[in-house]
Structure formats: structure tokens, C-alpha cells
């Protein structure tokens, strides 16, 4: 499928990539959700991922289970995840918000940490779910680093033994070219230092069996995300170098191997994942991927003048299309239609 450019009209006062990003990741007013059920999803080495399950009014649910995955230093409570969860629940999807290994919510049962290539944690977590939740299939969405993990998961269809059937996926602002994302983050005066500090604190908080004293010293001394990944993550997880780490775990390389309908939402002014991450991708080689580029949406923002933001509408329409069996092209058309500017009636209603 070709890369499609989507018209975007930002919701005041969220003008520009920086404000859109701050709204998506750090907005202090959490969107409301109905009470959920705490689950601990076991991993083979004894760790477990914390997750919250929400069930819609219909029992048993008539839609596939929607699994949502946060990004770097995030959690199930990131505003963009909660808003998408609410939108999917309104449409009858049961929703599972997953916290990655070593993140704040999963920390009590973690002895290691997530990284860009640890997609197998998602595979193991989904495989641990009962058939009563996954019998109608699963749809999976991830934001930022979580989006990269979702793409890697979808590309490893032959390695997902014991997993439920995945009907569709969505990745929002994933770092398709990791070195470009690390460079952008380190060069960003607003988010760079904050993300590094949060990441360092999160990693060091885990009583990790694979983080020796020399790696802890490297984590403390790192002055950039690039340096942290090069001196801590790469050697900790057995990569010979930072360059090998980014090359082996490059999400853009996963795109041609994906065979289930997958929505890729990118932003033209993303301050953390530059739009140049899309350069060089041959979309003819990625027939299952529907890529949408949205100018003005920031990193995981997409707050336009609709009652639900553009990413919620697009993901929900895409997942509904996949659940109804309309195929990749049909699901893509539904997502593009949902992402289109709201009608004048809606515009006047939210003015």
C-alpha cells in the first residue's frame, strides 16, 4: 500500500508537535475508564507483566480482545492508551492494557527490563491468556517503543507458538529507524533529558539479575539515550555493539514480513521519531501495512477537533474492519475514512 498523507486540524491549544506530544504522554488528567481487573501474565523465566483487563457491557464480548502496549518510560496509564481503551470499549472490544517488563507497574515481579527487541515478552504474555478471552482472536496496538515491539511480534508469525490468532495490529509513531529516534530524543531540549532521567531511574529500580555493578555505573554516567543504549542495553543483552543492536532490532525491517493487516500511524512533526524514518521503505514490499502520515500530530498525539482524537478513530475503524473480515485494503479504507477531518456538523459541535 502507498503512504497516505492525512489532513490534520489540531485541537486548540495543542498546536505543534511539542504540545501534542506532551498532551499524549504526560497529560495529568487521566481519561476515565470503568473498573478493570488486575492480571499478572507469566513469562518463562519467572517474571510477569502487569496488565489491566476491561470488559465491555456485552458478556461474553462479541469482539476480539484488544491488547494495548505503552512506550519508553510509559505505562498502562499513559493518556493515549487510556483514550484508545475507552474508544474500543465503547465499540464493544474487551481491552487489555499491558505493562512491559521492568516498567513501573510490572516492577514488583520483574528481574530484568524491556528493550527494543524484546517482542517475545508480548508473545508469551498473550499465549498465557485463557481461550475465553482470546477465542474471537486478538488485535494488538502499540505506541512508540511499544509500537516497535508490536511490529516485531507481527513479523514473527512462524515463531508465535501457542499464541492466539492475531487478526490485526497497529503501531503509532514507532521508531522505525532507532538511531534516528535516539538522535532526535537526545537533541530535544524539552523531552531529551527528562526521558533519559526517567529511563535511568526505571532501569535501576528493578532488582535485576542481569545488571551488574559495572552496568549500573554506566547507567548512572550516561549523558544521552544513545550512550545509555550503547553502554548499558547492548552489552547487558548480548549485542556486540550499539550498531549491531539497532541493526538487528530495526522495526522497519519487520514491515515486509508482516502478513496480518497492520495500521502504521506516523506524524510529520514528531519531535522524537522524525518523519525521515519513513525514507527508503518500499511500500510495495509491505502489502499488509497501511501507512498514514499525519502532519501536525506530534509523538502519539493526533488531537484534532473530533470528539475522539484521530488515532482513536483510525485504530478503532481498522480493528473493526479486521474483526469483520474485510481484509487489509478494506480495513485501511475504514481507517483512512475515520482519520479524515470531521464533518462541519461535528466541527460545530466541538467548537
Cα–Cα distance between 142 and 149 in angstroms, integer? 7
- Of 101, 100, 66, residue with least CA distance to 86: 66
The answer to whether residues 89 and 73 touch, using CB atoms and an 8 Å cutoff, is no
Query: Cα dist. 193→2, 52, 200 in Å?
Result: 36, 30, 11
Report which DSSP code applies to 106. T
Q: Is 224 a catalytic residue?
A: no
Label residue 195 left, alpha or beta by phi (over 0 means left) and psi (-120 to 50 means alpha). Answer: alpha
C-alpha cell at 220: 548512572
| Parallel, antiparallel or unpaired: strands 4-5 and 48-54 | unpaired
The answer to whether residues 164 and 137 touch, using CB atoms and an 8 Å cutoff, is yes
C-alpha cell at 225: 539515550
| Parallel, antiparallel or unpaired: strands 48-54 and 95-98 | antiparallel
Q: Is 226 a catalytic residue?
A: no
Please tell me which residue in 103, 144, 277, 311 is annotated as part of the active site: 144
Cα–Cα distance between 313 and 91 in angstroms, integer? 11
Q: Is 37 a catalytic residue?
A: no
Please tell me which residue in 252, 270, 277, 304 is annotated as part of the active site: 270
Please tell me which residue in 113, 269, 299, 304 is annotated as part of the active site: 299
C-alpha cell at 231: 553502554
Residues 6+ apart with CB under 8 A from 172: 80, 141, 142, 143, 144, 147, 265, 300, 302, 311, 315
> Which are the catalytic amino acids?
144, 270, 299
Amino acid at each position: 500500500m502507498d503512504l497516505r498523507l492525512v489532513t490534520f486540524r489540531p485541537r486548540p491549544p495543542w498546536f505543534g508537535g511539542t504540545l501534542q506530544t506532551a498532551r499524549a504522554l504526560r497529560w495529568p488528567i487521566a481519561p476515565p475508564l470503568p473498573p478493570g481487573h488486575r492480571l499478572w501474565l507469566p513469562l518463562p523465566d519467572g517474571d510477569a507483566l502487569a496488565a489491566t483487563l476491561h470488559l465491555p457491557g456485552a458478556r461474553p464480548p462479541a469482539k476480539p480482545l484488544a491488547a494495548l502496549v505503552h512506550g519508553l518510560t510509559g505505562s498502562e496509564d499513559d493518556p493515549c492508551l487510556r483514550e484508545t481503551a475507552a474508544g474500543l470499549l465503547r465499540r464493544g472490544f474487551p481491552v487489555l492494557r499491558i505493562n512491559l517488563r521492568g516498567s513501573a507497574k510490572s516492577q514488583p515481579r520483574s528481574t530484568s527490563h524491556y528493550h527494543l527487541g524484546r517482542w517475545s515478552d508480548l508473545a508469551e504474555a498473550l499465549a498465557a491468556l485463557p481461550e475465553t478471552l482470546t477465542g474471537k482472536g486478538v488485535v494488538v496496538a502499540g505506541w512508540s517503543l511499544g509500537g516497535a515491539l508490536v511490529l516485531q511480534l507481527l513479523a514473527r508469525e512462524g515463531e508465535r507458538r501457542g499464541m492466539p490468532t492475531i487478526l490485526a495490529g497497529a503501531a503509532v509513531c514507532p521508531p522505525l529507524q532507532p538511531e534516528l529516534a535516539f538522535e532526535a530524543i537526545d537533541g530535544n531540549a524539552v523531552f531529551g533529558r527528562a526521558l533519559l532521567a526517567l529511563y535511568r531511574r526505571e532501569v535501576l529500580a528493578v532488582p535485576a539479575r542481569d545488571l551488574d555493578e559495572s552496568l549500573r555505573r554506566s547507567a548512572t554516567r550516561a549523558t544521552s539515550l544513545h550512550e545509555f543504549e550503547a553502554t548499558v542495553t547492548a552489552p547487558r543483552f548480548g549485542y556486540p555493539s550499539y550498531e549491531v543492536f539497532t541493526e538487528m532490532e530495526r522495526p522497519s525491517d519487520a514491515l515486509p514480513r508482516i502478513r496480518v493487516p497492520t495500521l502504521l500511524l506516523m506524524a510529520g512533526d514528531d519531535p522524537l521519531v522524525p518523519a525521515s524514518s519513513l525514507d527508503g521503505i518500499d511500500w510495495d514490499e509491505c502489502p499488509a501495512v497501511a501507512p498514514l502520515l499525519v502532519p501536525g500530530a506530534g509523538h502519539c498525539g493526533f488531537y484534532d477537533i473530533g470528539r475522539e482524537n484521530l488515532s482513536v478513530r483510525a485504530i478503532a475503524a481498522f480493528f473493526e474492519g479486521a474483526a469483520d473480515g474485510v481484509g487489509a485494503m478494506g480495513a485501511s479504507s475504514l481507517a483512512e475514512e475515520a482519520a479524515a477531518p470531521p464533518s462541519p456538523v461535528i466541527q460545530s459541535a466541538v467548537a
